[in-house]
């Protein structure tokens, strides 16, 4: 996977002299009291430096894709300047106390109040800009900043975490934008056939909240033509497959494209396989890519359905079905959808579809899988289900066991080589989170680019 962030051609290039001047201006303004005490005309450069401390970050770097990233950069530079200025202020105040400490409170109190006030303004300017503009801080880091803000030492640790998180976000987004600009003419994702993206269970395709996160925009920027399954979120596999088959034929009629490439996540992979194998749309499908699909089902789902009291199952199902109707499902069926994810039911489905040879029909097939390394790596509720799934299915992505992913001619397993891993939601950028060691958007760009190179 191409790592634009580490490629010098795409790295954020700062104007170092301006960055240094920014730190010096902030520190000078905060610690100008001694100079002003000797000559009041130093008020002029002190005020000038104070103003520069807020203006210079605007010119320290450029080329940011969007105002939010530019705002995050501004806030981060103000926080870094705050740290530098605070260190200088502590040193200067210590020296000042040695020099004028014996003259009494009314002589030295401005040496404390002036830098404290300046540092306070620097800090709050930076933190407000970062909190408003950063997309990657999330609730977790914002709460850490709030709760640790008034605790000595802990507040510096929290500030360091926030700066590091925002810095990583800025550099990554900047590099990705530069990379996309550089390869724009190549249209690396302009496949011969359009892409149909099929969602998994308990989700719908929403205009205001795309199930696939930031990935569709990245693919389209690189030339991809995308469509969405738009099927109901909780139906048994045969019914979901029927809706997907109808969608494929609708795309064929409207665009005259001949075929589609299908990328399907989770249960959507089972739905897609059934549609192609059993419902006669094979001539209209060029490729199938399943993403973290439970091809052999989930043992833990068998256990839950087998052990859960009927009253509890009915209550949970009723709640889910009521909620799903509100988001557009006409006939949601929670129990049937979950049942089709069990290992026993998937065994039956695989047997039903076993007589159909995808390769013989000219359909390229591949699968993708990933796992969490530990429960805390996943977002709710996958961090809660991880241990339960692990007990029954072994290594898993928070929902599906690793042994269930592999299917088709090619299998790609994602290993981040760290202690976090990639969850069932991370793999489709559901939470819009930059996962260490895995650039989900670039992964899908390379995935679709490979389909293009195959002539699909």
Tell me, yes or no, whether 207 and 341 share the same domain: yes
pLDDT range class, residue 167, cuts 50, 70, 90: very high
Write the pLDDT tens digit of every residue in 330-358.
888 888 888 888 888 999 999 999 989 99
Does the pLDDT at position 44 exceed 90?
no
Q: Report the number of distinct structural domains present in the chain.
A: 2
- Final residue in a domain of this structure, among 144, 161, 180: 180
- Final residue in a domain of this structure, among 145, 180, 215: 180
Instruction: Report the Cα–Cα distance between both ends of the chain, in Å, rounded.
Output: 21
Q: In terms of C-beta distances under 8 Å and separation of at least 24 residues, what long-range contacts does 83-87 make, across chains too?
A: 83/156, 83/159, 84/23, 84/26, 84/27, 85/23, 85/26, 85/27, 85/30, 85/31, 85/115, 85/118, 85/119, 85/122, 86/119
Q: Give the Cα separation of 74 and 55 in Å (integer).
A: 9
Tell me, yes or no, whether 134 and 265 share the same domain: no
| Closest by CA position to 233, among listed 208, 201, 194 | 201
Write the pLDDT tens digit of every residue in 208-223.
567 899 999 999 999 9
Tell me, yes or no, whether 175 and 192 share the same domain: no
Q: Give the Cα separation of 144 and 159 in Å (integer).
A: 9
Write down the pTM of the prediction. Answer: 0.87
Could you tell me the residue range of the domain that residue 242 belongs to?
A: 188-453
Q: Give the Cα separation of 200 and 56 in Å (integer).
A: 48
Tell me, yes or no, whether 233 and 299 share the same domain: yes
Q: What is the largest CA-CA distance in the chain?
A: 96
Tell me, yes or no, whether 94 and 199 share the same domain: no
Tell me, yes or no, whether 194 and 135 share the same domain: no
Write the pLDDT tens digit of every residue in 89-115.
888 877 776 666 555 545 556 667 888
Rounded to the nearest angstrom, the gap between the alpha carbon of residue 116 and the centroid of all alpha carbons in its chain is: 37
Query: Can you give the pLDDT at residue 271?
Result: 94
* Contact in structure between 397 and 415 (CB atoms under 8 Å): no
Tell me, yes or no, whether 156 and 206 share the same domain: no
- Final residue in a domain of this structure, among 131, 151, 180: 180
Q: Give the Cα separation of 389 and 341 in Å (integer).
A: 13
Give the total residue count for the chain: 456
Tell me, yes or no, whether 398 and 322 share the same domain: yes
Tell me, yes or no, whether 292 and 332 share the same domain: yes
Tell me, yes or no, whether 377 and 253 share the same domain: yes
Tell me, yes or no, whether 106 and 195 share the same domain: no
Q: For position 248, which CATH number holds?
A: 3.40.50.1820
Structure tokens at 384: 């809660």
Tell me, yes or no, whether 322 and 427 share the same domain: yes
Q: At what angle do helices 138-148 and 154-182 cross, to 10 degrees?
A: 150
């Amino acid at each position: 996977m191409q790592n634009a962030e580490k490629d010098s051609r795409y790295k954020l290039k700062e104007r170092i002299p301006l960055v240094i001047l920014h730190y010096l201006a902030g520190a000078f303004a905060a610690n100008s009291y001694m100079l002003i005490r000797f000559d009041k005309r130093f008020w002029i450069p002190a005020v000038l430096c104070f103003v520069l401390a807020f203006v210079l970050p605007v010119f320290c770097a450029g080329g940011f894709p969007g105002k939010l990233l530019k705002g995050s950069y501004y806030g981060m530079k103000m926080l870094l300047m705050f740290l530098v200025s605070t260190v200088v202020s502590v040193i200067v105040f210590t020296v000042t106390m040695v020099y004028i400490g014996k003259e009494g409170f009314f002589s030295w109190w401005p040496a404390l109040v002036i830098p404290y006030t300046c540092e306070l303004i620097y800090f709050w300017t930076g933190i407000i800009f970062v909190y408003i503009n950063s997309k990657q801080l999330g609730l977790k880091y914002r709460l850490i900043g709030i709760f640790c803000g008034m605790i000595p030492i802990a507040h510096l640790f929290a500030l360091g975490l926030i700066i590091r998180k925002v810095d990583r976000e800025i550099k990554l987004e900047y590099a990705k934008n530069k990379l996309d600009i550089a390869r724009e003419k190549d249209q690396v994702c302009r496949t011969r056939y359009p892409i149909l993206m099929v969602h998994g269970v308990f989700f719908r395709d929403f205009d205001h909240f795309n199930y696939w996160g930031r990935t569709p925009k990245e693919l389209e920027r690189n030339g991809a033509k995308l469509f969405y399954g738009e099927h109901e979120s909780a139906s048994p596999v045969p019914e979901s497959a029927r809706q997907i088959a109808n969608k494929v034929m609708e795309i064929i009629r409207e665009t005259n494209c001949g075929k589609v490439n299908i990328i399907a996540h989770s249960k959507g992979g089972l739905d897609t396989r059934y549609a192609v194998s059993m419902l006669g749309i094979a001539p209209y499908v060029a490729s199938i890519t399943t993403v973290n699909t439970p091809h052999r089902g989930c043992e833990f789902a068998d256990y839950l359905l087998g052990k859960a009291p009927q009253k509890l199952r009915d209550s949970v199902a009723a709640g889910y079905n009521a909620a799903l109707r509100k988001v557009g499902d006409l006939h949601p069926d929670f129990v049937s959808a979950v049942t089709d994810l069990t290992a026993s039911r998937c065994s039956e489905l695989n047997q039903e579809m076993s007589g159909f040879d995808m390769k013989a029909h000219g359909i390229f097939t591949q699968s993708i899988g990933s796992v969490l390394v530990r429960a805390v790596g996943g977002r709710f509720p996958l961090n809660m289900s991880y241990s339960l799934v692990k007990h029954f299915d072994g290594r898993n992505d928070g929902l599906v066991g690793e042994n269930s992913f592999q299917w088709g001619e090619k299998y790609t397993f994602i290993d981040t080589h760290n202690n976090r891993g990639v969850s069932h939601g991370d793999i489709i950028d559901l939470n819009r989170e930059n996962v260490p060691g895995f650039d989900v958007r670039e992964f899908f760009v390379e995935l679709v680019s490979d389909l293009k190179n195959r002539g699909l």
